[in-house]
A and B are shown apart, each in its own frame.
Chain A
């Protein structure tokens, strides 16, 4: 009963703020709602008992990526951007694509929807650490290699810009 109330209120929060991201005319407000939506997803993780995922979601998405998005919007934004129309004349096609994607996601989600997660938090940090550095070591290291390449690429582009 309580689990369901928490789940549905978090879902409503996540979906409503996600809708506000795409429907709001003010880009800064949209980016703030993006942070709220990501925080709602973190709340869903917490309500399912995934404590490490909850912490990582807050740290990486809410206080990392959402802040960067807000930063860029504020740095590059002009006053005219604050009253943009969010839809253009091709909104029908966009709606169709969204509908098809939603149906596809729904079909995929139904395959896994019979697995019921327990709400009680059981600490999984040790298991996650062991899996990262044991069974899944190769994908983990490959991901870090990709991040390193991205970092070097960013440094390369800023250096060439400075040289010119």
Chain B
């Protein structure tokens, strides 16, 4: 594919003109396909829908989401009949002569497996979504090719799964200076409290693995334990950057836990309970038949509490405006510098699980839980778990949007922000909520 030399040779040799290589066409199974790695993606994108692989990839993605949605819906609809299933399992256990303890253990194991898989599938989904959103915010296209060598590559749908396989196959390195046991235990101590904290999370009306009277306190208590894992990871790596990252992480998370807890206190005062189901039920109904009685629509107090809770939830996950514990330009990558393979990915699984936890909590506390925003027939028919999931996904989009829009705080600005701004205003918020209770809501 070289251009032919001109017939009349010039007297002195000229440098040959640069000719960009044409797209290489490969023949595979008798069909011509573009070599995807030598062409600029825009040319591929122009005629993407004419490629059968793209259509099949799109079909595969749609099938995966429909399948996940149907599975979620099946679990959501079946969980309404959970008592019936429990009785069925009980009669089965009685027929087999099993003790009631075995029945309860099996029942709890089923619930634990469902909640665990919510955390795991969330990692698969939200990492892909974050990569696509970050790419489009930065005028890139994000994962495009992952999927299949034959071209089942609709928007790189398989990127996270393939990354997971790569991380699984990576060498697990423990530095020579590391404290072996603490280094190995730290990722576990980050992810385990996070999964435990999902127990009372409400996925729809009456859809929680455990309905706890102290639900809110329980979630905040267990979410706070993860910071020990971060500090352990930072210290045990035997690296001064990791240690600095771990210490910054501890200072930041302990500080932001306070406004996070206090911003919810007005909600607890209005609802009169720590139980997430009671909080969700307290937001049922509509003012004048139109405006939903969600806590975010309570004048001033609701919006202020929402903003403070959102900001401190982002800070708790160590994501970008608040990512000084893993600031790349200062600390390599902070507390997880010395981790590789699955141990490293567990830190990220925990991060995305906390994003999901924050999204569901925002939906439950401020956006009415499983209630429909519009008081009209086709919307009130939609099941509560679908509203809940939609609101949580909207909040997760806000999390990702914040991360890819705002620049990083400096350490002192970060501390000033929580102690001098968020915390005092959350106290003011509690006082105003008390006035509301005394004079308006009675």
Listed in ascending order, the chain A residues whose CB lies under 8 Å from chain B are 2, 28-29, 32, 35, 51-52, 54-56, 58-59, 62-64, 66-68, 70-71, 74-75, 123, 125
B325 in the interface (beta carbon within 8 A): no
- Is there contact, CB below 8 Å, between B213 and A59? no
**CB-CB < 8 A to B222: which residues of A?**
58
Number of interface residues of B (CB under 8 A): 28
- Kindly state the separation between the CA atoms of A25 and B392 in the bound complex, as whole angstroms: 47
- Is there contact, CB below 8 Å, between A58 and B235? no
Once A67-B231, A71-B231, A123-B213 are accepted as A-B contacts, the answer to whether A59 and B250 lie under 8 Å apart by CB is no
Cβ distance A155 to chain B, nearest Cβ, rounded Å = 11
**CB-CB < 8 A to B291: which residues of A?**
none
Main secondary structure of the interface of B (DSSP, over half): helix
Cβ distance A10 to chain B, nearest Cβ, rounded Å = 16
Once A2-B101, A29-B182, A52-B214 are accepted as A-B contacts, the answer to whether A74 and B228 lie under 8 Å apart by CB is no
- Kindly state the separation between the CA atoms of A2 and B101 in the bound complex, as whole angstroms: 9
Partner of B221, one of A2, A35, A59, A67: A59
Once A58-B221, A58-B222, A125-B274 are accepted as A-B contacts, the answer to whether A63 and B228 lie under 8 Å apart by CB is yes
- Is there contact, CB below 8 Å, between B101 and A52? no
Known pairs A52-B217, A67-B228, A125-B213. 11 more at Cβ < 8 A?
Answer: A28-B179, A29-B182, A54-B214, A55-B214, A55-B217, A59-B217, A63-B225, A70-B228, A70-B232, A71-B251, A71-B254
Partner of B247, one of A32, A35, A71, A125: A71
B243 in the interface (beta carbon within 8 A): yes
Which residue of B has the minimal Cβ distance to A1? B101
Cβ distance B45 to chain A, nearest Cβ, rounded Å = 48
**CB-CB < 8 A to B221: which residues of A?**
55-56, 58-59, 62-63
B292 in the interface (beta carbon within 8 A): no
B212 in the interface (beta carbon within 8 A): yes
- Kindly state the separation between the CA atoms of A154 and B53 in the bound complex, as whole angstroms: 66
Which residue of A has the minimal Cβ distance to B235? A74
B164 in the interface (beta carbon within 8 A): no
Q: Mark B204-248, 1 if CB is under 8 A from A, else 0.
A: 000000001110011011101101100110110000000100110
17 contacting pairs across A/B (C-beta < 8 A): A32-B182, A32-B228, A35-B228, A51-B213, A56-B221, A58-B225, A62-B221, A63-B224, A63-B227, A63-B257, A64-B224, A64-B254, A67-B227, A70-B232, A71-B247, A71-B254, A123-B213
- Kindly state the separation between the CA atoms of A68 and B214 in the bound complex, as whole angstroms: 25
- Kindly state the separation between the CA atoms of A28 and B186 in the bound complex, as whole angstroms: 13
- Interface positions, chain B 98-139, Cβ under 8 Å from A, are 101
Cβ distance A130 to chain B, nearest Cβ, rounded Å = 12
Nearest 8 Cβ contacts at the A-B interface? A63-B224, A123-B213, A58-B221, A55-B217, A59-B221, A55-B214, A71-B250, A55-B221
**CB-CB < 8 A to B213: which residues of A?**
51, 123, 125
**CB-CB < 8 A to A59: which residues of B?**
217, 220-221, 224
- Interface positions, chain B 178-218, Cβ under 8 Å from A, are 179, 182, 212-214, 217-218
- Is there contact, CB below 8 Å, between B217 and A70? no
Once A63-B221, A125-B213, A125-B274 are accepted as A-B contacts, the answer to whether A74 and B246 lie under 8 Å apart by CB is yes
Q: Mark B79-111, 1 if CB is under 8 A from A, else 0.
A: 000000000000000000000010000000000
- Kindly state the separation between the CA atoms of A123 and B225 in the bound complex, as whole angstroms: 23
- Is there contact, CB below 8 Å, between A125 and B220? no
**CB-CB < 8 A to B235: which residues of A?**
28, 74
Partner of B214, one of A35, A66, A125: A125
- Is there contact, CB below 8 Å, between A68 and B228? no
**CB-CB < 8 A to B218: which residues of A?**
55
- Is there contact, CB below 8 Å, between B217 and A68? no
